[in-house]
Amino acid sequence: MPILLFLIDTSASMNQRTDLGTSYLDIAKGAVELFLKLRARDPASRGDRYMLVTYDEPPYCIKAGWKENHATFMSELKNLQASGLTTLGQALRSSFDLLNLNRLISGIDNYGQGRNPFFLEPSILITITDGNKLTSTASVQEELHLPLNSPLPGSELTKEPFRWDQRLFALVLRLPGVASTEPEQLGSVPTDESAITQMCEVTGGRSYCVRTQRMLNQCLESLVQKVQSGVVINFEKTGPDPLPVGEDGLMDSLRPSNSFAAQPWHSCHKLIYVRPNSKTGVPVGHWPIPESFWPDQNLPSLPPRTSHPVVRFSCIDCEPMVIDKLPFDKYELEPSPLTQYILERKSPHTCWQVFVTSSGKYNELGYPFGYLKASTTLTCVNLFVMPYNYPVLLPLLDDLFKVHKLKPNLKWRQAFDSYLKTLPPYYLLPLKKALRMMGAPNLISDNLDCGLSYSVISYLKKLSQQTKLESERILASVGKKPPQETGIKVKNHSGGGVSLVHNKNFRKLLKEITGETALRLTELNTKEFAGFQVGLLNKDLKPQTYRNAYDIPRRGLLDQLTRMRSNLLKTHKFIVGQDEDSLHSVPVAQMGNYQEYLKTVASPLREIDPDQPKRLHTFGNPFKQDKKGMMIDEADEFVAGPQNKVKRPGELNSPMSSKRRRNATVIHDVHEEKMENGQTPPDGFLSKSAPAELMNTTGDGVPPSQLDSLSDDFTSLKRDGPFHKLGNNVLRGGAPNCNLSVDDQKIAVVSTLGTAPNALQITPAMAQGINADIKHQLMKEVRKFGRKYERIFILLEKVQGPLEIKKQFVEFTIKEAARFKRRVLIQQLEKVLEKIDSHHLLNNVNHINSRSSS
């Protein structure tokens, strides 16, 4: 259940206006509402919890906390006002204390017992500020300082105010007050230079320098993607650098390795993704990350831990170890210089062991508790968490099952007992559970010792009780308004001390309302409402206006009690058989409160086919697809999966055209297979690889001019033809292995060449329409998350017109890729651009030579 805490700058400087006339505070409110709409596209958002904190003095700074619902959050957000000082440090401390309120009670931090990545409360703290100087009642501060003293018990057990599953992101508003004449720069949003940037980087987040409304929308889309379940870890290299890897993937000992110069991948501060279980929706794990100290019974207190554990990795290549039925945990690393370096080595069958310093009893570096390894497809790097000192344990367990057949001898038991002495005490319980899951005999005593002294355990219990009391006090103060400064009190003597009840006009008006005296119609202006008649009061039906319970007569007690109960509980109905109007009318402020409705809806069943794109709730539109968090208008929705193709006018339905379509399908499939196997996709875009492959399969010599026309025909056919995947159209050893026989392929080529002149003629107007549609699809494909760019190059193949037009489309795609920081795509497109230029130059030379020869 992700926690999204919004820290809004409510200092007086947020009243400054932009060139559009809106204040910074209005922009901040709108940014929060837009973020919630973007986040609501993800089905996982139904479990989100929203909190709101301002720059007011604690505890009045908490506007919406743990108990407030979404409606309260939105109401408090709309009522925010900008006044006061820029006390960012105090506001951040209050925000982290609010997030850490229940951690000691739930035991999620597990102090002294190892760090469990699967015990987490993923929290994203988003602060929106103007980046001005930090002010307090004493002075103006140049640097950001968080108060050291915290009212939360147990805060001394962690050195920093945040935890490893909490990240800080800052939107620093730098919108000008006067409209800028310079063109807006596209690309990624830079970090800000204010004091909060360093604090964001320490927690694993970042800051955004927002200069335009478009940049703000881009930042919000980026922040929605940052809502991930995971924890931040410091990865640091220990020992020498690895030997360089040659182009053939083997170690090259002759190439020098710069082991002493600091490299970006030597120290990385990144997130590891902790995925929830697909069945339960909750992360599941088995092994902790060890503490940086050895638990001892003689320790009077626990040493304070850092928020992010320091995990050291050795660059010595090892074989990844695993045995059957032994559970292990696997976490994917966030992309970083370290992951890029490991993937560039292209060694998916080796691993680097990881350690925690001082975690062992007899070893300063500690024993390995897992390893870093690239995935088999070289798409990501994973952290495998194993039992502590697993290189010793796994061979022992392997012998236990295969050699001793679950009946260990004395020598094996002695070796196992020696291993247990190197094991931190908090690993005994998970190891005992793992052995039970494997079906091994009971090899560990039932009297397990956690390794902590009695005083430490008592102290942790005492902290838990104190945290409960402090939590109740803080939660009780949520939503309360800070006391207003009364200033100088001036006593009013104008009334002479006479109360309102003794006023003659007031008593007369009260009698007229209760019906004791007749209403003075002379004072009513009857001309103002012509045609309306004023109804006189019925003196027999007097309203009950008792101000004292003793004034009620004895015979009317039961009747009055029924009226009081009906007014209090709102159970009366004006017309029999009709519900109250309040049941069918909702205030405008609550009309968009869809989050509360989602909490009452039952969890949806899993999809029958997990490969299909996920459906969203989308307010009654069940066919809307997941757009990966990108802002696309409803008119521009891209529906993934198979779509019905409309046959264009002029398309033939003859057997010849079906054979031509079948051959085009074979070539299209071979071309896609090349792209999946890592071959350069632009080759097919320029050289029209379809004719060359047909020459190889048929073995006939076809003139190049006919092949060029044939390839253009294939391109037009691929645009609208029903392309169905064939079974074995895979390139093996560089040669296509198709299902068609040689005779069939010869017939297909001849028939295709024969019918090419009679194919659909593309007029300039049709070509312009096709290119416009391709341009629109290219924009959406570049926006999509991931590195699957095959569709982009397939679209570029379909561009109609000469090479100049195709060059313009490639340049346009490069600009779009630069907006979304697609570096790999840009590199591939630049190669395409170079080949277009060289191809264009070669055509010009051939044209000049032909003219000179003629």
CA dist., res. 130 & res. 86, Å (int)? 10
pTM of structure: 0.59
For residue 256, cis peptide bond before it (omega within 30 degrees of 0): no
Contact predicate 76/595, CB 8 Å:
no
Contact predicate 38/627, CB 8 Å:
no
- Beta-carbon contacts of residue 105 (< 8 Å; ≥ 6 apart): 464, 467, 468, 471
CA dist., res. 64 & res. 4, Å (int)? 11
CA dist., res. 328 & res. 335, Å (int)? 22
Question: Hey, what are 837's tokens?
Answer: 């230029």
* CB atoms closer than 10 angstroms to residue 835: 17
Burial class (CB in 10 A: 0-12, 13-18, 19+), 350: middle
Using CA atoms, how far residue 419 sits from 361, 415, 427, in Å, is 12, 6, 12
- Beta-carbon contacts of residue 841 (< 8 Å; ≥ 6 apart): none
CA dist., res. 371 & res. 236, Å (int)? 13
Positive or negative CA dihedral for 393, 399, 405, 407? negative
Using CA atoms, how far residue 269 sits from 160, 259, 312, in Å, is 15, 20, 12
Chain centroid to CA 345: 29
Closest Cα partner for 678 from 379, 342, 381, 336? 379
Bridge partners, 731 (sequence order) = 736
Residue 185, sorted as left (phi over 0), alpha (psi -120 to 50) or beta, turns out to be beta
132 three-class SS: coil
Confidence at residue 309, expressed as pLDDT on a 0 to 100 scale: 93
Closest Cα partner for 87 from 27, 133, 52? 133
CA dist., res. 165 & res. 331, Å (int)? 14
- Mean pLDDT split into 10-residue runs, the chain, 854 residues: 89 88 92 92 86 88 87 90 87 90 83 89 93 78 76 84 92 87 78 89 92 91 92 92 69 54 87 86 89 84 90 92 89 93 90 91 86 92 93 92 89 91 89 89 76 77 81 76 59 52 67 63 50 51 67 84 76 49 66 71 67 55 50 35 40 44 42 40 42 37 38 39 36 38 38 41 81 88 82 89 88 87 86 81 63 58
What is the dihedral angle through the alpha carbons of 761, 766, 772, 778, rounded to the nearest 10 degrees?
Answer: -20
Give the CA radius of gyration of the chain.
36
Contact predicate 694/745, CB 8 Å:
yes
* CB atoms closer than 10 angstroms to residue 780: 16
- Beta-carbon contacts of residue 196 (< 8 Å; ≥ 6 apart): 88, 127, 129, 131, 144, 168, 170, 172, 207
CA dist., res. 334 & res. 458, Å (int)? 38
Question: Hey, what are 710's tokens?
Answer: 């044939």
CA dist., res. 295 & res. 456, Å (int)? 11
Say which DSSP state 234 is in. E
Positive or negative CA dihedral for 497, 503, 506, 507? positive
- Beta-carbon contacts of residue 816 (< 8 Å; ≥ 6 apart): 778, 779, 782, 783
Closest Cα partner for 347 from 248, 265, 270, 273? 248
* CB atoms closer than 10 angstroms to residue 789: 20
Bridge partners, 374 (sequence order) = 381
Using CA atoms, how far residue 207 sits from 28, 50, 93, 129, in Å, is 15, 20, 18, 11
Positive or negative CA dihedral for 792, 797, 800, 803? positive
Question: Hey, what are 369's tokens?
Answer: 């508790």
Confidence at residue 649, expressed as pLDDT on a 0 to 100 scale: 43
CA dist., res. 650 & res. 661, Å (int)? 15
Residue 687, sorted as left (phi over 0), alpha (psi -120 to 50) or beta, turns out to be alpha
Question: Hey, what are 812's tokens?
Answer: 């346009």
Closest Cα partner for 450 from 429, 466, 471, 434? 429
CA dist., res. 741 & res. 727, Å (int)? 14
Closest Cα partner for 111 from 291, 361, 298? 291
Confidence at residue 699, expressed as pLDDT on a 0 to 100 scale: 38
Closest Cα partner for 631 from 224, 194, 23? 224
70 three-class SS: helix
Largest CA distance in the chain: 126
Phi, psi of 42 (to 5 degrees): -85, 125
* CB atoms closer than 10 angstroms to residue 505: 8
Instruction: Quickly list DSSP for 541-601.
Output: S-----SSGGGS-GGGHHHHHHHHHHHHHT---SSTT---GGGT---GGGTT-HHHHHHHS
Say which DSSP state 289 is in. B
Rounded to 10 deg, the angle between the 742-755 and 689-698 helix axes is 130
Question: Hey, what are 787's tokens?
Answer: 């590195």
Confidence at residue 272, expressed as pLDDT on a 0 to 100 scale: 93
The strand order across the sheet containing 166-173 reads 62-64, 49-53, 3-8, 123-129, 166-173, 207-210
CA dist., res. 829 & res. 808, Å (int)? 12
Closest Cα partner for 122 from 24, 5, 9? 5
Question: What are the counts of helices (DSSP H) followed by strands (DSSP E) for the chain?
Answer: 23, 17
- Beta-carbon contacts of residue 453 (< 8 Å; ≥ 6 apart): 296, 297, 298, 299, 300
∠ CA 289-402-385, nearest 5°, is 10
Q: Are strands 381-385 and 329-333 parallel, antiparallel or unpaired?
A: antiparallel
Question: Hey, what are 727's tokens?
Answer: 């079974």
End-to-end CA gap in the chain: 77
Instruction: Quickly list DSSP for 8-58.
Output: E--SGGGG-B-TTS-BHHHHHHHHHHHHHHHHTTSGGGGG-EEEEE-SSST
The one-letter code for the residue type at 525 is N
Helix intervals (H) in 102-172: 103-106
Phi, psi of 709 (to 5 degrees): -65, -35
